[in-house]
Structure 1
Amino acid sequence: MTEVPTMQASNISFTSLGLVVLDEIRCPDWGPLTDILGGSGTYATLGARLFLPSPSSPTLGWMINVGNDFPTPVKEQLESWGATLYIREEVNRPSTRGLLEYRDTTFGPKGFKYTTPILAVQEDNLKHTSLLDSKAFHYLAGPEDLKARVSKLLALRAEAGIEERPLIIWEPSPLSCGPENLEACMESAASVDILSPNHLELARLFSEPQPDVIDKDKIEDLASKCLDRGVGPDGNGTLIVRAGENGCFISNRNNPAAWLDPFYATMPGETPNAKTVDPTGAGNAFLGSYAVGYLETGSVIKAACYGSVGASFALEQVGMPQLSVQGNEELWNGVNVLSRLEKYMSRQKCGREGDEPEAISSEP
């Protein structure tokens, strides 16, 4: 069954084809939390939604597959975001669920496994919906799966008479980021516009040891190797390496490479910011925010500023941040998103208007 919302837009900006997962979260110091909204698709959609406040929220596209046990409060939470939301219910199957277990109280080392079969959205599900015409798509997938899915997406768009190529953002599946898949990943990278592994995944692809301390020179060297092989159909795509508390590294063939700090930057010797609670989903949220930022500015650096700010809202709690409205102003966790963006861009010397900065410092 497909539910078509009463609030919808024909001009869709962003659609994630990642998963929506109901997580059970366990931590040594407290009992389990259940029905916590998660999944790469949820967090990427959150990142985009942060920068699409009402009345722009219907331009956010979202299709999810749920089972017969999908909680009503979670459904109402999703509907409250005001996106163009399609909910496909499979009445004879359970929803996608996962178990996330933290090994200590720092929200660092963790293990994850799915506890039910995965209900994924496929490209064919987008047929005859406005989501097929989205300006940007987000994937988390292995290289072979990604290549086939992008090919299918573009074929469906061509059949529907949609000539413009969308912005395609790819997070390689963590399990696929091994040296045995390097050639497949580089081949698939030619079909996307944004390739975004994290620093550990990038190291594994090139058989590098997992570093205890991030080596920015090594990250830059491995990024150059990726770009030399080519990202994007014309080789002019962008590589974004998400490096956790060290921010992100952005590079392509047409612009100077740059490091950006995370919004919650911590100097050596400082205590981490108390607002950074749980890093789960921050990378996904980064990419959803990046997509909207790029569509709005056309700048890979400014878009990454959007991404860094979007990730900050995912870090502040377990699960999703809280949306509220005061007058005509949307607030997430009590904060105006665009005000946080202005603050961050000022700190990074990267204004929302005007030319690119000559350099983006890696210092706060």
Structure 2
Amino acid sequence: MPEHSLSFLSLGSVVLDEIRIPNQKPLKDVLGGSGAYATLGARLFLLPPLSHSLGWMLHIGNDFPRSIRNSLESWGTTLVIDRESDKPSTRGLLEYRDITFGPKDFRYITPVLAIQESRLKGTSLLTAKTYHYLDSPQNIKRRVSTLLSLRNETDSLERPLIIWEPAPLSIKPENLQACLNAAHEVDVFSPNHLELAGLFGESPSATLDKEKIESFMQVFLNRGVGPGEKGIVLIRAGEHGCLVGARNIAPTWLPPFYNTRPEGKQSARVVDPTGAGNAFLGAWAVGYLGTGDAVKAACYGAVGASFALEQVGMPEKRDEGDIELWNGVDVLSRLHEYQESTGFV
């Protein structure tokens, strides 16, 4: 059996966003998309030279800014550029309804340049230990089947860990059965708490009913998640933290990073929640590969998400000697702080 050369690959999108905030000048060419943020989450915990174990296929058009490409190349990942010379890059318009970065509307303004599994053939990206998807239940089964078939053609690679984040627009009551069926095909099922409630016909609520969310999660676990029903459910709950569960894991809640800090040191750095859930999953994947423990891995997820929250777009990376800093912070030091505060060391 060949050794895996890569740890993680997101097959989510990379989007250039125009962001409009009331009474402010629009921000243009802001890097976003589920693939970009999930890759960020993983990269935070894969310091060089381990960063090269992080795969990334960048499917871009003819207008992708060279400055952003240079920045992403500086992350030191195994980056494969799939450039369409006759098409624009995937672009979105994100409009906030007020200045709190709360209610918002999003739409694509160019056709989406999705990543097709067939484009992985002949590249090291087909050898990853973990894959992240954001897609509908109708598409995920086909895509996972295609991925596994391609891998079976290459020296009988063992099954990877498949993380599925259901596409928000597909999360509605009429798709509950489709989601239950699709969850059999993946190893990790991860909606957010509002999406999960919506699947069961519940209206969004600012008040979190933990018992109800746990009961919805249990429906999926009872029906079976993953091959052999050995899969994991990760419910990302924003400011309420996250819920981890499996057949052999009692429902476990963990707080978000900023809720574990001393009073008065939480809110100042929380700017925009966009992408935090995606970053959580990329960071969780690296934590899980390292620990084999779904709950301990959620500590990595919470810390990874915290870096996505602190600005609009991607955090700033810089090196100070042998230390890599993101937003001026050592990621592993923040992880240790979180683990100490929660007791999940």
TM-score range, shorter chain: over 0.9
In structure 2, what is the Cα distance between the partners aligned to 1:248 and 1:10?
Answer: 29
TM-score by length of 2: 0.97
Q: Which residue of 2 aligns with 1:127?
A: 121
Q: CA deviation at 1:272?
A: 5.6
**Secondary structure of 2:6's aligned partner:** coil
Per residue, is there more helix in 1 or in 2?
A: 2
Q: Is residue 2:272 matched to residue 1:278? A: yes
TM-score by length of 1: 0.92
Q: Which residue of 1 aligns with 2:5?
A: 11
**Secondary structure of 1:274's aligned partner:** helix
In structure 1, what is the Cα distance between the partners aligned to 2:164 and 2:31?
Answer: 22
Q: Which residue of 1 aligns with 2:176?
A: 182
In structure 2, what is the Cα distance between the partners aligned to 1:38 and 1:89?
Answer: 17
> Which of 58, 63, 87 matches 1:69?
63
Q: Which residue of 2 aligns with 1:173?
A: 167
Q: Is residue 2:214 matched to residue 1:220? A: yes
Give the fraction of aligned pairs with identical amino acids, expressed as a percent.
60
Partner letter of residue 245 of structure 2?
S
**Counterparts of 1:247-326 in structure 2 under 5 Å?**
247-265=241-259, 273-326=267-320
Deviation per residue, 1:41-73 (Å, 9 max, x gap): 000000000000111111000001111100010
Deviation per residue, 1:305-355 (Å, 9 max, x gap): 00000000000000000111111111101101001000101111011xxxx
Displaced runs of 4 or more, over 3 A: 269-272
> Structure 1 348/271 Cα, relative in aligned 2: closer, same or farther at 3 Å?
closer
Partner letter of residue 232 of structure 1?
G
Deviation per residue, 1:30-50 (Å, 9 max, x gap): 110000000000000000000
**Secondary structure of 1:197's aligned partner:** coil
Q: Is residue 2:63 matched to residue 1:100? A: no
- The unaligned stretches of length 5 or more in structure 1 are 1-8, 352-364
Q: Which residue of 2 aligns with 1:191?
A: 185
Deviation per residue, 1:109-159 (Å, 9 max, x gap): 000000000101110000010110100000000011100000000000001
The answer to whether the Cα contact below 8 Å between 2:260 and 2:342 also exists between their aligned partners in 1 is no
The aligned length equals 342
The answer to whether the Cα contact below 8 Å between 2:260 and 2:341 also exists between their aligned partners in 1 is no
Q: Which residue of 2 aligns with 1:59?
A: 53
In structure 2, what is the Cα distance between the partners aligned to 1:236 and 1:177?
Answer: 23
In structure 2, what is the Cα distance between the partners aligned to 1:270 and 1:58?
Answer: 38
Q: Which residue of 2 aligns with 1:161?
A: 155
> Which of 310, 329, 343 matches 1:335?
329
Deviation per residue, 1:278-301 (Å, 9 max, x gap): 000000000000000000000001
Q: CA deviation at 1:209?
A: 2.1
> Structure 1 271/80 Cα, relative in aligned 2: closer, same or farther at 3 Å?
closer
> Structure 1 266/343 Cα, relative in aligned 2: closer, same or farther at 3 Å?
closer
CA RMSD of aligned residues (A): 1.5
